[in-house]
């Protein structure tokens, strides 16, 4: 087993019908910061969503507001910026991290206020990432909050910190694969290749996601020296 293998993300997820929601963070070969966030859905309520971008922030919103059944776990800010930090998460803990940073807390400290989602029997993990820009460089942190058992009796908390390594990214997602209940992600974030071509990366990730279950994808590439960025957004419900 090669623990340092760098995977092609399309190949990694191509045969997985349901990795759930996923975050990629990493560094392009030229040194830019790259992040991606995608959502998938099995139920009509989960599939009734789109991503919208407003003033540099990304939100999940209903595609058809008349069909929304329960907005509590599916409508939230997925991407926000606080000063020199770019926050990406799979739920409303985006706001928890933002508010924690504003109060002088760290990424990890802010997330101590949260735990996995209350959606028994799945107990969907909360996954989060944050890129920090400083001195023309960047680094990033990733987190998962998940149940310690099948009863949701307590929350296990894991955080990883990564330097910027050109060409290398890390990928974390909510589920191992489809199931009933759906099995929670295990282990460390997976190592994936990151390229300089944002269109190629976006297309590869979107192709890899199961066509029936994929919903939306957002990708951003940031120049850490200037803060300038390019972005791509795909909605299945267009």
How far apart CA 118 and CA 165 sit, in angstroms, is 36
How far apart CA 202 and CA 3 sit, in angstroms, is 25
The number of CA neighbours under 13 Å toward the Cβ of 51 is 25
> For residue 74, what pLDDT is reported?
82
pTM assigned to the model? 0.97
Averaged pLDDT, 1-9: 92
Show the domains of the chain with their CATH numbers.
9-235 (3.60.20.20)
Q: Is the pLDDT of residue 214 over 80?
A: yes
Residue whose entry in the numeric block shows the structure tokens 């293998």: 5
CB under 8 Å to 43, separation ≥6 — which residues? none
pLDDT digits (tens, 9 = 90+) for 96-113: 999 999 999 999 999 999
- Average per-residue pLDDT in the chain? 96
> For residue 44, what pLDDT is reported?
87
> For residue 54, what pLDDT is reported?
94
The token pair at 126 is: 């909360």
Q: Is the pLDDT of residue 218 over 80?
A: yes
pLDDT digits (tens, 9 = 90+) for 6-56: 999 999 999 999 999 999 999 999 999 999 999 999 988 889 999 999 999
Contact 193, 7 (CB under 8 A): yes
pLDDT digits (tens, 9 = 90+) for 46-94: 899 999 999 999 999 999 988 888 887 788 999 999 999 999 999 999 9
pLDDT digits (tens, 9 = 90+) for 107-139: 999 999 999 999 999 999 999 999 999 999 999
Comparing C-alpha atoms, which of 166, 196, 227 is closest to residue 31? 166
> For residue 70, what pLDDT is reported?
80
How far apart CA 6 and CA 162 sit, in angstroms, is 15
CA 189 to chain CA mean position, Å: 11
> For residue 2, what pLDDT is reported?
86
> What are the distances in angstroms from CA 16 to CA 88, 153, 231, 236?
23, 28, 26, 18
3-state SS assignment for residue 95: helix
pLDDT digits (tens, 9 = 90+) for 175-210: 999 999 999 999 999 999 999 999 999 999 999 999
> For residue 143, what pLDDT is reported?
98
């Amino acid at each position: 087993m090669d623990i340092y293998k760098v995977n092609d993300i399309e190949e990694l997820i191509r045969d997985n019908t349901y990795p759930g929601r996923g975050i990629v963070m990493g560094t392009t070969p030229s040194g830019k910061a790259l992040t991606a966030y995608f959502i998938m859905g099995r139920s009509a309520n989960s599939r009734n969503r789109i991503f919208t971008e407003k003033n540099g922030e990304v939100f999940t919103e209903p595609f058809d507001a008349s069909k929304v059944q329960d907005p509590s776990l599916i409508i939230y800010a997925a991407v926000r910026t606080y000063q020199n930090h770019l926050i990406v998460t799979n739920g409303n803990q985006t706001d928890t991290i933002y508010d924690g940073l504003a109060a002088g807390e760290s990424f990890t400290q802010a997330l101590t206020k949260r735990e996995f989602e209350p959606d028994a029997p799945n107990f969907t993990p909360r996954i989060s990432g944050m890129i920090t820009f400083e001195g023309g460089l960047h680094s990033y942190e990733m987190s998962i909050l998940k149940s310690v058992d099948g009863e949701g009796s307590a929350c296990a908390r894991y955080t990883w910190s990564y330097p910027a390594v050109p060409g290398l990214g890390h990928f974390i997602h909510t589920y191992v694969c489809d199931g009933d209940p759906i099995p929670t992600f295990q282990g460390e974030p997976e190592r994936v290749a990151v390229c300089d071509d944002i269109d190629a990366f976006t297309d590869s990730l979107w192709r890899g996601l199961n066509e029936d279950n994929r919903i939306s994808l957002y990708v951003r590439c940031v120049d850490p020296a200037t803060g300038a960025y390019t972005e791509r957004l795909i909605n299945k419900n267009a």
